[in-house]
Structure 1
Amino acid sequence: MRAARIAAVVLFAIGLVAYSAWLLEFVVPTGLSPLDRPAEDLLGANPVFRIARGVAGLAFVLSGPPLMRLAPVHWTGRLSAISVCLFGFLMLADAAQPGTAVIDVAANLMFVTGALSLVLWWPPRWREWAVGGLALVLVTWALVLVAGILGPGHLEGLFTRVQLVVRTVLLGVGVMYVVVAPVPRRV
């Protein structure tokens, strides 16, 4: 179990760092407005963003099996591990075909599913983080949808970046849970 925990934490951390690569837009010239252009547009602006998205996806996919060993045997714990893995596959697909609406919707749904699964099985102190994270994930998704419907000039870029921050923080809390939670005993 120790090896599974180390593998999960290392892969998850790599995924988090790569998923946060959008912050490089403040260093790497992209020609995109962070306020008006969605963060998704970064994938077409510079190859470094697509590569980072692919690395994040691969790391999340590979973290799935060790997370399955660490998650409780009941379905809600397994759903959390599966959600991370499927989110990784969606990030790989996004790196291959950026800007696909179906992938974007599926990634949002997978993130909501994963956050909801944490609400259902994390212990009380941790559950508060999961509930807050789920609420913020839903609010930021709604803001992104409304800004996208309203069109240019309605801060879609800002809201997509806030959404990325919320997701990254929730994933970071997940890593912390894996680090400090007791390892389940197998009989």
Structure 2
Amino acid sequence: MNGELAFFLTLALFREYYQRIGLVASEYIHFTSFNSIWFWFFLCIFWYFECNSIFGLQYSTWCQANNNEEELLELSKVTRSLASRFVKKYQLTKNWIFILLFAFLSSFWASTAIMYGSEFLQALFFVFLPIPTLALIRLNLANKILTQNLSPSELFFQIRLQRRNSQLLALFTISIIFCWVIFTMLKHQTIWN
């Protein structure tokens, strides 16, 4: 059987089945719930990039330059300039109105998502909730880089520590989301009621 023909026959059967149970085409792949593979894929990709990139430099670059003192010195210079730019952009003492606005919007978002039981809002809330914590961890590292005169090896140690903290935050976040998903699924089952 031709591959294209098999694909179109499968697609036709798929559409016929979902039309019989009353779903529209946008509901074939559930983007609006926790059981969507796209939600978990996005979550894992997001945390992978956030844990491996520090101020735009990949952690693997630091690992490769660890044995070469000249490369490590060059990376530390680049990191200092990127950290300076990061501190200017996200300095907390100048942005209190944005912090208060963010706190209000996130608490409103959480209460709306939980009170109305919208899985889409809950999923987005749990994905974007740890981003300010991650920004604070990075801001702390940037301030430490700028205030202390760290040698390249000490800077590499601080970056390794920051990566470990980011990975722990990712593990904690994914664990909390997984527990909430299990709770939500059990709540929708008949045995919970």
Larger Rg: 2
Same fold (TM over 0.5): no
TM-score (norm 1): 0.40
TM-score (norm 2): 0.39
